[in-house]
Amino acid sequence: MTSGEALRGVGLREVPTPRLRTLLRAVYRKETEVPLSPAGIAALGLQDWTASVLGTLRGLNDKAIHAVLVSVLAERGE
């Protein structure tokens, strides 16, 4: 197993950048409930990434979610 395979499904690595932008926008505009829930994530069309999103952002307030997502997008060069 390579290190990349070992990290598969960990954090937000597998969530596509446009989907992270969707989540960031929804949190910023208060269009989704915080703390995040499976239902809120599904309502945004992000149900395929529920495990990754909740595994990373579960229990965080809106400011913390915003900070994490901005950091991830910046790291990706977005």
Q: What percent of the chain has pLDDT over 90?
A: 86
Single-letter residue type at 63: K
| pLDDT top residue among 38 and 1 | 38
Q: How far apart are CA 76 and CA 62, in angstroms?
A: 21
The mean per-residue pLDDT over the stretch 10-37 comes to 96
68 pLDDT exceeds 70?
yes
9 pLDDT exceeds 90?
no
Q: Among residues 70, 75, 77, which one has the least CA distance to residue 20?
A: 70
51 pLDDT exceeds 70?
yes
Contacts of 24 (CB under 8 A, 6+ apart): 66, 69, 70, 73
